[in-house]
Amino acid sequence: MQPTSHDFTANAHKALQDENLRKALKRVEAGFTTARARAAAALPEFEALRDQARDIKNHVLENLDFYLERFAARVEEQGGRVHWCATPAEARETILALCRSVDARTVTKGKSMIAEEIALNPFLAENGVEPIETDLGEYIIQLADEPPSHIIGPAVHKTQDQVADLFLEHHRRYGKNKRLEEAEDLVAEAREVLRDKYLAADVGITGANFLVAETGSTVIVTNEGNGDLTQLLPKMHIVVASLEKVVPTLEDTATILRVLARSATGQEMSVYTTFSTGPRRQGDADGPPRFHVVLLDNGRSELVGSDKGELLRCIRCGACMNHCPVYQAVGGHAYGWVYPGPIGAALDPYFLGLEETRHLPNASTFCGRCEEVCPMRIPLPRILRHWRERAFSHHIAPPAERWGVKLWAALAARPALYRAFTRVALWALRLFSGRKGALRRLPFLGGWTDGRDLPAPAGPGFIDQWRARQKRGGTSGEHDG
């Protein structure tokens, strides 16, 4: 997708005036954060498991070359193929060539952030292969022609009414002419429409939450079961995954799984956790006859071992954005690229360059909640601070930004959120306009110091303030279960 991160302030401004989005984001806060807190409290070993999960990933990153080679060797010993791709373009071309090798006309897709990162869908479509998203959230935003706004709930920004309109518009061609009023009916209709797609697809593409070096297995975690139908029914299963998804053993996978679902949705386990190892075997009753793994680097080989290498521990659970006051205020689209929220603000500058993303490291009140809830204990505020200082020292941000950020943080913590944020956004827009820095994508130049103080956490917590405002009659008190 074409990044719009440089427009963060304008995007944020727009988001703040979108009533539907306000309601949707309120649900994110209420739903995900309470569920996570409950799940964490219910498992006495949760904090210790977080430490172990962090240590496992650190161990992997120390020995990434070894584990990747081992994983690839195990896949190939079992009849699969691994395609190493340094760039998104290579990955796209590889996937297209694989699709063409089986004369694919349609491919079904499970949810994959890497597919988003390499902008796979438009590329396939331009080249005559129709991609069909099967995760309900992804399917909804595909119909709406929008990017995901959350890494685990791509359509969290959509209301049920909007979904009903989209289905009415797009399902007419399947002879469905009734506007549906209930979530159950909408889900059932999508299920029916997508059933035929699974059965007709030539290739199924999924992401991977883990690549197991020990066994050469790829692992996906879903609640819907769409990723399974996607990979089991077609002639070919293509897994697209980035380097850092590799873990040593099945046991290590189990440990990280214990913190993943709890952090993401508050479930103890997601409904489906699937280990796929090679293609269908001799005599097997079903399964894909061909199995390919597209391994994407896209700069990760240079991120590892750097001062921001800890970002590669991320397991894309979404907890950091669920708990982020800025995300809760502006939603995912404002960030302007594939990864929103604190992890996006920390990662996107690396992928897109600091020039494009200069506002993102400022999209933080430095309240520290992201780091508190991150199952992999990634020091997100510290990394955001690094970026900010980088931008500062490379003159991408004007000097005034430093105190501007503090002002932003202070204002954002006030009850009068809309007005304050809008005012800051306008102010920031003025401030940043027309000023161009010289930095390209040269991630790890030195020249900034490590030990600056971060702005003090802003007052008694944004969320409490926000709730207080709601109670005082900001919006009606409706709730969803």
Q: Which of residues 4, 277, 393, 422 is near other proteins by CB under 8 A? A: 277
* Smaller CB separation from other proteins, 303 or 320: 303
Q: 320 is in the binding site of which of ligand SF4, other proteins, none (Cβ under 5 to 8 A by kind)? A: ligand SF4
**Alpha-carbon gap, residue 175 to 311, rounded angstroms:** 47
For the bound state, the minimum distance from the C-beta of residue 468 to other proteins, rounded and expressed in Å, comes to 23
Residue 183 touching other proteins (CB under 8 A): yes
Q: 316 is in the binding site of which of ligand SF4, other proteins, none (Cβ under 5 to 8 A by kind)? A: ligand SF4
Cβ proximity of 363 and 341 under 8 Å: no
Q: 375 is in the binding site of which of ligand SF4, other proteins, none (Cβ under 5 to 8 A by kind)? A: ligand SF4
Please state, in angstroms and as integers, the Cα–Cα distance from residue 340 to each residue in 54, 113, 434, 456, following that order.
Answer: 22, 11, 25, 23
- Residues within window 301-320 making contact with other proteins, judged by CB under 8 A: 301-306, 309
For the bound state, the minimum distance from the C-beta of residue 186 to other proteins, rounded and expressed in Å, comes to 6
Residue 28 touching other proteins (CB under 8 A): yes
For the bound state, the minimum distance from the C-beta of residue 260 to ligand SF4, rounded and expressed in Å, comes to 8
Q: Pick the piece of the chain touching other proteins (CB under 8 A) from 55-63, 354-362, 381-389, 417-425.
A: 55-63
Residue 276 touching other proteins (CB under 8 A): yes
Residue 481 touching other proteins (CB under 8 A): yes
For the bound state, the minimum distance from the C-beta of residue 72 to other proteins, rounded and expressed in Å, comes to 8
Q: Pick the piece of the chain touching other proteins (CB under 8 A) from 85-93, 124-132, 396-404, 423-431.
A: 85-93
Please state, in angstroms and as integers, the Cα–Cα distance from residue 295 to each residue in 90, 342, 435, following that order.
Answer: 10, 25, 38
* Smaller CB separation from ligand SF4, 262 or 316: 316
Which is nearest to 74 in space by CA: 218, 287, 204?
218
Residue 103 touching other proteins (CB under 8 A): no
How many other C-beta atoms are found inside a 10 Å radius of the C-beta of residue 469?
16
Those residues with Cβ within 8 angstroms of residue 76's Cβ, 6 or more apart along the chain or in another chain: 82, 216
* Smaller CB separation from other proteins, 66 or 403: 66
For the bound state, the minimum distance from the C-beta of residue 219 to other proteins, rounded and expressed in Å, comes to 9
Residue 145 touching other proteins (CB under 8 A): no
Which is nearest to 433 in space by CA: 7, 96, 3, 44?
7
Cβ proximity of 266 and 57 under 8 Å: no
Residues at the contact surface with ligand SF4, assessed by CB under 6 A: 263, 314-320, 343, 374-376, 378
How many other C-beta atoms are found inside a 10 Å radius of the C-beta of residue 172?
10
Q: Which of residues 70, 170, 235, 406 is near other proteins by CB under 8 A? A: 70
Angle, helix 183-200 to helix 136-144, in steps of 10 degrees? 90
How many other C-beta atoms are found inside a 10 Å radius of the C-beta of residue 177?
8
Pairing type for strands 81-85 and 106-109 reads: unpaired
Q: What angle do CA 278, 284, 285 make, to 5 degrees?
A: 125
Residue 9 touching other proteins (CB under 8 A): no
Pairing type for strands 236-242 and 272-276 reads: unpaired
Residue 4 touching other proteins (CB under 8 A): no
